[in-house]
Amino acid sequence: MKSTFSALLASAFAVYSVAACADGHDDHASEAHMHLPQKRAYPSVPLTPPSRPLVWGDVNIIHTTDSHGWLLGHQKPSFPEPNYSGDFGDFASFVSHMKEIALEKGVDLLLVDSGDLHDGTGLTDGYPAGGVDAHDANKFFDKLPYDVLAIGNHELYDYPNTLDIYENFAPKYPGRYLSSNVNITVAGPNGTAVSVPVGSRFAKFHTLFGRKVTALGVLYDFTGNDHNTTVQKVEAMVNETWFKEAIAEEPDFFLLAGHMPVYKDKWPFVFNAIRAVHPTTPIFILGGHTHIRDCVQLDGRSMSLESGRYMETVGFLSANLDHKNSTANITFNRRYLDPNRVTYEYHTGRGNHSFDTWLGQEITRGLNELAESYDLSYLYGTAPQDYSLSRWVSTSPEARTGTDSPSSDPYPSNGSLLTLFIEQVIPVALAINNTRAAIPNIIITNSGELRFDLYKGPFTKNDQLTASPFTDSFLYIPNVTLGVASKVLPTLNKAGANEKRSLEREEELYGRGVVDMRYRAWLEEMDRRDGEVKRAAQNLTLGYVTQDSCPGVGDDTVHAPLPYYGSPDFLSSIPPTGADDTVIDLVFINFIQDQLLGVLNGLQSEKVYADSDVLSYSPFLADEVLGLFAAEKWN
């Protein structure tokens, strides 16, 4: 037994070693580089440890999804950010120690990712001219020994990104980077265009302890993909010959990784197709996309887990498998871990001086070097306070350690990032070097233009790209009367509030990849359920408080939920004063052009506005305006 274990140990670390070894701005004054994100030796504020040890099974899975470039961790001191302060080097060390524990226990431990590596922080979006989003950041991702990875919708918005995955990332995981229903068009051997899977359709392999696995990597019905990429509908995929052949042989368990939420989507199509052939085979589903923590059991011999977003959650799933053909329910366990060193050290039994592995330290060092090469520490200004998208904002010392009752700063308010963005940031930024700056205007944007909160202190290039990564442009229609223009915003929001139109619009946006509405609904439900009671306890730090449909408690660390405040779909700058017939510029983000033209034509009959009436208002894009404002007002 001892020699077998030693052989397995050597084999595991040989595989790990192979995986580990896989492979704009001018210079600024040193002051601009003083705020480069650095890995902390330990979190800078006290963190609550996990509530209980993990429950290990015969088969165990560590799960990540929707990381969106958050490989340097969350480095701001206001809660709940410190909960997620572990960087990807810390995560690599955690995985290494967990692999050792699994070997000692004689159980399997797999590492799975469900997609969306692109778009979200400076490490992905801050690449210099001529680069490709996430190309450099993914080099650190592929140093970890992932067993299965699935493609996400953010890998498909721009063809160069998809091509980079096809040519450079997927080959690092031969046969294990899965795109069951996603193709890319490339030049074939004879020069003609051919449509081929971005990765592999499926994978079949044996675990370290000999269990047979059949794995798939499925993307939800995404409609926002770029030219020369295709996404097949899930219900069509399960009728393909290759799919039927892939699932024909019974494995010890099916592993379905995919960028698709585990609830209210199309996993049942895949699940039922497998169940029609294998009624009792254990099925693990690892989902993603909606940025929430969630768990569903489609029957007693399966579990479906979704593990949040932005490296704010690391999922853990375990099961004790029984003999084939058993119809008894399987004992599953799931846990949502806060990714920080307190969590990692607790579950690995390591101290602060023995936790870091060589690989973990190398990844941290490399990530900081990449941040420096991208000039992500470039300092635009110093934010005077925290600004939030949908929750509390407080700058008191107690709030910044998560121990006081949070203040209320909904939209509109001085602590709302949406208020700051539409009433101050955009008007100031778009007036720079603009010959139309003296002409009165109304500026309209969608609230989804912002992606993340903005925190007190140094506001850097990385913070700018994190809060507002979208490269949307600002357009305008000249000579719109104030009386008409002032009605555009309420009409847009009224249309959004109409239940039927709202559902239709939500379905359309969801198909194109917008998930904010589902994430916000989750936060709202969390707060409504028991927010006031838990926050009144005073002994809980702020964070996620998950209630899913699986048995037991899923959250690894006990928190009080953040207060949640909703916001309208569309926002407007402060309108100018004047008579209704005063002509102004109607300025808007290009993302809402079609909707806005429709509303404008419905509000008046003097002119039918078309795309030809729309002009460019500013050379600055949405992902630049926060930095322009900070340089102007926060210095």
User: What tokens appear for 153 in the block?
Assistant: 């919708």
User: What tokens appear for 203 in the block?
Assistant: 């994978």
Residue 161 has a pLDDT of: 98
pLDDT in tens, 42-51: 566 889 999 9
pLDDT confidence bin for 497, thresholds 50/70/90 = low
pLDDT in tens, 425-471: 999 999 999 999 999 999 999 998 999 999 999 999 999 999 998 88
Q: Which residues, at least 6 apart from 375, have a Cβ–Cβ distance to it below 8 Å?
A: 24, 25, 28, 126, 461
Residue 246 has a pLDDT of: 98
- The burial class, CB within 10 Å (0-12 / 13-18 / 19+), for 126 is buried
User: What tokens appear for 629 in the block?
Assistant: 């404002």
User: Phi and psi of 466, rounded to 5°?
Assistant: -70, -45
The answer on pLDDT for 126 being more than 60 is yes
pLDDT in tens, 209-261: 999 999 999 999 999 999 999 999 999 999 999 999 999 999 999 999 999 99
What is the residue-averaged pLDDT of the chain?
A: 90
Cis peptide before 80 (omega within 30 of 0): yes
- The burial class, CB within 10 Å (0-12 / 13-18 / 19+), for 15 is middle
Residue 4 has a pLDDT of: 37
Contact between 453 and 385 (Cβ < 8 Å): no
| CATH number assigned to the domain with residue range 378-499+570-633, chosen from the 4 options 3.30.920.30, 3.90.780.10, 3.30.565.10, 3.40.50.12140 | 3.90.780.10
In whole angstroms, what is the distance from residue 426 CA to residue 633 CA? 12
Question: β-strand 229-231 against 441-446: which pairing, if any?
Answer: unpaired
User: Which runs of E-coded beta strand occur in 366-466?
Assistant: 379-383, 441-446, 457-460
Question: β-strand 473-481 against 570-572: which pairing, if any?
Answer: unpaired
Q: Compute the average pLDDT of residues 71-77.
A: 95
* Maximum average pLDDT range among 95-104, 461-470, 565-574: 95-104
CATH topology of domain 2-370: Purple Acid Phosphatase; chain A, domain 2 (3.60.21)
Contact between 526 and 561 (Cβ < 8 Å): yes
Domain parsing of the chain, residue ranges: 2-370, 378-499+570-633
In Å, how far from its chain's centre is CA 121? 10
Amino acid code (one letter) for 472: D
Residue 37 has a pLDDT of: 45
User: Phi and psi of 41, rounded to 5°?
Assistant: -65, -30
Residue 30 has a pLDDT of: 33
Amino acid code (one letter) for 206: H
pLDDT confidence bin for 498, thresholds 50/70/90 = low
In whole angstroms, what is the distance from residue 419 CA to residue 412 CA? 5
User: DSSP H helical segments within 593-634, as ranges?
Assistant: 593-603, 625-633
The answer on pLDDT for 475 being more than 70 is yes
The answer on pLDDT for 520 being more than 60 is yes
Q: Which of 153, 80, 88 is nearest to 453 (CA)?
A: 80
In whole angstroms, what is the distance from residue 347 CA to residue 98 CA? 8
Residue 408 has a pLDDT of: 55
The answer on pLDDT for 12 being more than 70 is no
CA torsion 89→62→244→173, rounded to 10°?
Answer: 20
Amino acid code (one letter) for 279: P
User: What tokens appear for 45 in the block?
Assistant: 């504020």
pLDDT confidence bin for 409, thresholds 50/70/90 = low
DSSP state letter for 48: P
The answer on pLDDT for 40 being more than 70 is no
Q: What is the value of pTM for the model shown?
A: 0.90
DSSP state letter for 387: B
Other Cβ atoms closer than 10 A to 517: 16
Half-sphere exposure of 78 (CA within 13 A, CB side): 18
Distances (CA, A) of 521 to 205, 408, 554: 39, 18, 19
Residue 469 has a pLDDT of: 85
Contact between 282 and 253 (Cβ < 8 Å): yes
pLDDT in tens, 578-620: 999 999 999 999 999 999 999 999 999 999 999 999 999 999 9
In whole angstroms, what is the distance from residue 145 CA to residue 95 CA? 9
The answer on pLDDT for 570 being more than 60 is yes
The answer on pLDDT for 19 being more than 70 is no
Q: Compute the average pLDDT of residues 412-429.
A: 95
User: Phi and psi of 445, rounded to 5°?
Assistant: -140, 170
Q: Beta partners for 320?
A: 331
The answer on pLDDT for 295 being more than 60 is yes
